[in-house]
Amino acid sequence: MKVRKIATEEAWSIPEVAAELKKVSNGPSQSLDKLLVRGIYDQEGGGARYAGVNFLDGLLDAEGMRLKQMDELGIDMHLLALTAPGVQMFDADTAMELAILSNDILSDLCRKYPLRFASLASFAPHSPKRAAKEMERAINELGMNGFMINSHTYDEYLDDPKFWPILEAAEALDRCIYIHPRAASYGFKGPLQDYGMDSAMWGYGMEVGTHAVRMMAGGVFDAFPKLKICIGHMGEAVPFWLWRLNFMNTRSQKAGRSRKTKRSMAEYFQDNFVITNSGVEDNLALRYAIDKLGIDNVMWAIDYPYQPMKPSVDFIDNFPCTDSERHALCHGNAERIFHIAPLAD
Ligand code: VNL
Ligand code: MN
């Protein structure tokens, strides 16, 4: 029997954001993100080729090649979001303006194709109060499904109380925040700038893993116990570290080096996080994640266009699991966590 397939970390963009990122790529920013941004958006000479692939065409397309491939491969839905680094390299006003524009365009697309596309809303984290307002609009007026943030904003992380209006809004709206990677913050730059380590090979996972640990160690989930955070790439290696995180955090807390929290790292990760397998097609890693976190906490994702659709579909179709596990991975958890209407029987 065919299983409904909702892919949960699928990248998308609009020409207005692409144009602004092209400006960034020629501007003074010292961010590690410039390596990727220049490759994708600065197309002088025709056709961006970052790592040999034209990602920009895939990002700007929804109704053309993307939908055609989804049809051919039996992918029911993409959960779309503005691609990394989102609006977070722009000044706060430009960021807010482009987040609003992209939320408007993306929610229109989802209304046009309610069974094919769902969406995560963008906002400008550097304007936390205005961000919270846009978050409310995105859910209550635009009918979007959750939120996307691309890790740090100008090298600052969500454990910083200045961002807490954002976390408060997400908790009050009962919507998950997906923390997607962008290149690591400035302090990590040195050893990550060689060998292609700045982006998806290593830097992205380290950046978001660090973000998740900062939030747990920083007491964010004592302040917002119902907050749900989603992280991709098989949980950015955090599931594999839970035992040691617990052991060492307890030791650091006893020594007064780490903040006292109400619960353990493993408990926060279990109750406040969900993960996707985006960009990781490894049976053993997925089995470990399911057994460690519980089947309710793991979702299927492709990471299109950065990863091709077909191998990801083949991977999840052939992953050794029960029917009920496959249903949870492929759509059940996504429907619950991102408020996507289940199909009628
Ligand atoms: C890459 C992979 C980039 C996944 C992404 O966002 C991503 C990459 C900018 O391979 O460069 O989500
Ligand atoms: Mn991605």
List, in order, residues 6 or more apart from 130 with CB less than 8 Å away.
Answer: 92, 96, 123, 124
Read off the CATH number of the domain in which 168 is found: 3.20.20.140
Whose CA is closest to atom 4 on ligand 1?
306
Return the closest-CA partner of residue 178 out of 5, 7, 3: 7
Asked if residue 343 belongs to a domain, the reply is no
For ligand 1, say whether the CB of 83 is within 6 Å of any of its atoms: yes
Asked if residue 193 belongs to a domain, the reply is yes
For ligand 1, say whether the CB of 261 is within 6 Å of any of its atoms: no
- Ligand 2 centroid to residue 128 C-alpha, Å: 24
Whose CA is closest to atom 9 on ligand 1?
84
The structural domain count of the chain equals: 1
Asked if residue 345 belongs to a domain, the reply is no
Cα dihedral 122, 124, 125, 131 in deg (nearest 10):
-80
Specify the amino acid at residue 182.
Answer: R
For 41-50, 122-131, 257-266, 302-311, which range has the lowest pLDDT when averaged over its residues?
Answer: 41-50
Q: How many angstroms from the chain centroid is the CA of residue 281?
A: 17
**Rounded Cα gap, residues 309 and 313, in angstroms:** 6
Contact 83, 50 (CB under 8 A): no
> Which residue range is the domain that position 87 belongs to?
6-337
* pLDDT of 139 strictly over 90: yes
Query: What confidence category does residue 344 fall into, taking pLDDT thresholds of 50, 70 and 90?
Result: confident
The mean pLDDT value for 280-304 works out to: 98
Which atom of ligand 1 is nearest the CA belonging to 201? 10
- Ligand 2 centroid to residue 181 C-alpha, Å: 7
For ligand 1, say whether the CB of 56 is within 6 Å of any of its atoms: no
Asked if residue 310 belongs to a domain, the reply is yes
Asked if residue 344 belongs to a domain, the reply is no
Q: What does the pLDDT look like over 12-23, one tens digit per residue?
A: 999 999 999 999
Asked if residue 1 belongs to a domain, the reply is no
Asked if residue 342 belongs to a domain, the reply is no
Asked if residue 266 belongs to a domain, the reply is yes
**Rounded mean pLDDT of the chain?**
96
List, in order, residues 6 or more apart from 26 with CB less than 8 Å away.
Answer: 42
* pLDDT of 283 strictly over 90: yes
**Rounded Cα gap, residues 7 and 313, in angstroms:** 9
Query: Rg for the chain (alpha carbons), in Å?
Result: 19
Which atom of ligand 1 is nearest the CA belonging to 84? 9
Query: What confidence category does residue 50 fall into, taking pLDDT thresholds of 50, 70 and 90?
Result: low
- Ligand 1 centroid to residue 199 C-alpha, Å: 7
* pLDDT of 260 strictly over 80: yes
The mean pLDDT value for 230-242 works out to: 98
For ligand 1, say whether the CB of 11 is within 6 Å of any of its atoms: yes
Specify the amino acid at residue 38.
Answer: R
Contact 127, 103 (CB under 8 A): no
The mean pLDDT value for 324-334 works out to: 98
